[in-house]
Amino acid sequence: MSDEAMDAVTRDDHGTPPGTTSVALGDRAGLHRGAPTGEPLLAATDLVAGYLPGVNILNGCDLVLHPGELIGIIGPNGAGKSTLLKALFGLVNVRSGSVTLGGEDITNLRADHLVQRGVGFVPQNNNVFPSLTIEENLQMGAFQAPRKFAERFAFVAELFPTLGERRRQRAGSLSGGERQMVAMARALMMEPSVLLLDEPSAGLSPVKQDETFLRTRKINKAGVSVVIVEQNARRALQICDRGYVLDQGRNAYSGPGRQLMHDPKVIELYLGTLATDVEAAATHAPLIPPAEKS
Ligand SMILES: Nc1ncnc2c1ncn2[C@@H]1O[C@H](COP(=O)(O)OP(=O)(O)O)[C@@H](O)[C@H]1O
Ligand SMILES: [Mg+2]
């Protein structure tokens, strides 16, 4: 899909608030400038976390997700993006700092408890059971609430018609894009209020990547607040309300997606490959309407 086409489907419903700019996060007070005000749905404050004793991978991460938002996390390989999602989902030990959901402390709560509280997580790899059918995979997603299965299956089959049509097909025989649908659908079976997605477009063709981003928007529009970690920074920033740039376990920048995408510092320091994309786009077709560029 062209940038213009992607823009047409993603633009305006979450337009960049006028006058907002991305902020370098040395300025902690300005950390969430541009973010909606009000009670956050999910908030991580000053997270320090790691796998091995004495080695911290997250070195003071902050993140705020407001109800209804779609936020993106981008940054170089090894920056700690996956670790941040795992820390939010109780899969890596948080050594200091806190995670709250709806104002309640959920720091280091077990993943299955978080699922019950309405958090869904789609890991980047090994996110389906290949020997099970699509339907069985979705049953696994709903095992904590089997009585909801039929209703939730209908919901995900509407979002992903292919899954309904092929419910008896084994997940192992599906394409990468279809498996990614199964993984997202499985996480949606428990009717999460927050969905955490780790690089859902990785390994997919450009067309399938675009489908994944549009599907993510659709899920978000269906009322699920989303945190998406992405290697395809340009697309991620195009669809998200706000983005965070993570570097070495710290937030480096944050701001409205479209603003970050055009922030020369962000491009120069973190989005080397994006710089060429943006330049190319500037000479051919603008990614965002000129009015929003300021
Ligand atoms: N299970 C693990 N045990 C030890 N170190 C890990 C583990 N997973 C990731 N790391 C380390 O944590 C750092 C951040 O990794 P990760 O969060 O996967 O980064 P990103 O998702 O941004 O590429 C890397 O240095 C990586 O080697
Ligand atoms: Mg990762």
pLDDT at 264: 85
pLDDT at 28: 32
- What would the pLDDT profile of 159-186 be if each residue is shown by its tens digit? 999 999 999 999 999 999 999 999 999 9
Does some domain include residue 164? yes
Does some domain include residue 29? no
Q: Report how far ligand 1's centroid is from the alpha carbon of 56 (Å).
A: 10
Q: Report how far ligand 1's centroid is from the alpha carbon of 198 (Å).
A: 13
Averaged pLDDT, 215-221: 94
Q: Among 74-78, 156-160, 236-240, 280-284, whose mean pLDDT is lowest?
A: 280-284
pLDDT at 251: 87
Q: What percent of the chain stands above pLDDT 90?
A: 65
Does some domain include residue 69? yes
Does some domain include residue 16? no
Q: What long-range pairs does 264-272 form, CB within 8 A, spacing at least 24?
A: 265/24, 266/22, 270/74, 270/75, 270/76, 270/245, 271/74, 271/233, 271/234
126 versus 157: the higher-pLDDT residue is 157
pLDDT category at 4 given cuts 50, 70, 90 is low
Residue 103, judged by CB atoms within 10 A of its CB (0-12, 13-18, 19+), counts as: exposed
pLDDT at 142: 93
Does some domain include residue 203? yes
pLDDT category at 89 given cuts 50, 70, 90 is very high
Q: Report how far ligand 2's centroid is from the alpha carbon of 82 (Å).
A: 4
Beta strands 104-105 and 94-101, pairing class: antiparallel
57 pocket-lining for ligand 1 (C-beta < 6 Å): yes
pLDDT at 10: 60
51 pocket-lining for ligand 1 (C-beta < 6 Å): yes
CATH number (domain holding residue 259): 3.40.50.300
Q: Which atom number of ligand 1 is nearest to the Cα of residue 80?
A: 17
pLDDT at 163: 95
32-41, 153-162, 230-239: which has the highest mean pLDDT?
153-162
Q: Which atom number of ligand 1 is nearest to the Cα of residue 81?
A: 22
Averaged pLDDT, 7-11: 57
Q: Is the dihedral of CA 48, 197, 20, 274 positive or negative?
A: positive
Protein residue with its CA nearest to atom 24 in ligand 1: 78
Q: Report how far ligand 2's centroid is from the alpha carbon of 77 (Å).
A: 7
pLDDT at 273: 53
Averaged pLDDT, 194-223: 94
Query: Which ligand does the CA of 80 lie closest to?
Result: 1
pLDDT at 253: 87
Averaged pLDDT, 112-136: 95
Does some domain include residue 30? no
The whole-model pTM stands at 0.84
Q: Chain-wide mean pLDDT for the chain?
A: 84
Q: Among 16-20, 38-42, 86-90, 148-152, whose mean pLDDT is lowest?
A: 16-20
Does some domain include residue 238? yes
pLDDT at 6: 63
Q: Number of folded domains in the chain?
A: 1
Protein residue with its CA nearest to atom 6 in ligand 1: 51
78 pocket-lining for ligand 1 (C-beta < 6 Å): yes
Q: How far is CA 160 from CA 153, 168, 184, 210, in A?
A: 10, 15, 10, 15
Pocket test for ligand 1, best of 47, 52, 57 (most atoms within 8 A of CB): 57
Does some domain include residue 92? yes
pLDDT category at 235 given cuts 50, 70, 90 is confident
Residues contacting residue 41 through CB under 8 Å, at least 6 positions apart: 65, 66, 67, 69, 101, 102, 193, 194, 225
Pocket test for ligand 1, best of 83, 229, 232, 251 (most atoms within 8 A of CB): 83
For residue 163, the enclosing domain spans: 3-11+40-286
Q: Which atom number of ligand 1 is nearest to the Cα of residue 75?
A: 22
pLDDT at 209: 93
What distance separates the 2 farthest-apart alpha carbons in the chain?
55
